Amino acid sequence: MNDDSIGKVIPRSNYSILGHKQNIDFLIGSFLNNSMHHAYIFSGNKGIGKATLAYAITRNILSGNNFNDLSIDKNNKVCKLIEANSHPDLLVIEPEDPEKKTFISIDQVRKCSEFFNQTPSISNWRICILDSIDFMDISSTNTILKILEEPPTNCLFLIISHNVEKVIDTIKSRCLELKFQNLKNEIMIKKIKILKPNLLKNEIDRILDISDGSIGKLINLSHSDSLKIQGEIDKIFNERKIDESVYNFSDFILKEDTNINKFEVFIDVVNNKLNSFIKELAINNTNFIQNSIMVFKIRDTILNLISQERIFKLNKKQVIVSIISNLNKITKLQ
């Protein structure tokens, strides 16, 4: 399997559900017993299958299936309409450009109110998938709250959250939260062996460690460009020096790729390397207490750079160079 075939699979066209049996059984049971809540929050880390399950439930409900599982013929009309984002009884609210972390506008959310005030067109339900509430500002959040306070009949709200702790309590109190756990290693190993059957065990172990139970991260990290990023970060730690090649490395990370977001891979690898380094330092460094002050200060600087880039859209090249420069300071403590 070449890297071109390891591209992103968007949830609306993904029919492969991995794990989460307890949540699946609960949702199926609720539907079959006519006890569906009007709004659910699917909470958990990014890339573990929350949106994929939301679309799976949506397909079955809008198809009118009396389903005992989530299997469905993906060639049926409803599935094709959902894949094309053109089913009249499904509204999807998501950032216009999720790669650039744009916020969901209040105008997008207002469409939800109009949508739920209409009767179903070709099914018995109207469903809205919000992916994700983490991309909403206070104005958009307040608009959603008003909709949740007066839910229409035969309408279903499926809300995705990667950071449910930041969702306001008034919204959480009007929804039923289903917690999604990180995927187990056996599921992740099975997936990675399908994607990259020729990887060495140490490469698989490294990808599993960085992925942290997220199938989305695993797919990104299985790409050969991601393996190169991991190698370059290792090189910084092993050689304990950086040179002008750091600028070429930053250009490589920022080069657009339809298959993976290399900048996000870089951030994941850096975070993992920081955590691993701190653990090793605690075990092997006799001056840990003295050095830990500097380590945590540098780590906070790096995490702040990452946060500032996401909020204020800083120059990514400068952010990458600054992160690598700070990583190099840490390596001096080895």
| Structural domain includes residue 205 | no
Q: Is the pLDDT of residue 323 over 70?
A: yes
Confidence tier at 98 by pLDDT (50, 70, 90): low
Domain boundary (162, 179, 196) is at 179
Note down the domain range covering 138.
3-179
Considering the domain architecture, whether residues 52 and 160 belong to the same structural domain is answered as yes
Considering the domain architecture, whether residues 260 and 147 belong to the same structural domain is answered as no
Considering the domain architecture, whether residues 163 and 229 belong to the same structural domain is answered as no
pLDDT, tens digit (0-9, with 9 covering 90-100), for 156-206: 999 999 999 999 999 999 999 999 999 999 999 998 988 888 888 988 998
For residue 21, the model assigns a pLDDT of 95
Angle of CA points 176, 181, 182, to nearest 5°: 145
For residue 285, the model assigns a pLDDT of 66
Confidence tier at 4 by pLDDT (50, 70, 90): very low
Token pair 């990887």 is found at 199
Burial of 314 (0-12, 13-18, 19+ CB in 10 A): middle
Domain boundary (179, 205, 234) is at 179
Q: What is the mean pLDDT of the chain?
A: 88
Considering the domain architecture, whether residues 72 and 130 belong to the same structural domain is answered as yes
Domain boundary (179, 212, 239) is at 179
Confidence (pTM): 0.85
Q: Which residue has the higher pLDDT, 103 or 84?
A: 84
Report the number of distinct structural domains present in the chain. 2
pLDDT, tens digit (0-9, with 9 covering 90-100), for 117-168: 999 999 999 999 999 899 888 888 999 998 898 888 899 999 999 999 999 9
| Helix axes 224-239 and 245-254, enclosed angle (nearest 10) | 150
Integer-rounded Cα radius of gyration of the chain: 22
**CA-to-CA dists, residue 140 to 105, 115, 171, 268, angstroms:** 6, 16, 12, 29
Considering the domain architecture, whether residues 22 and 153 belong to the same structural domain is answered as yes
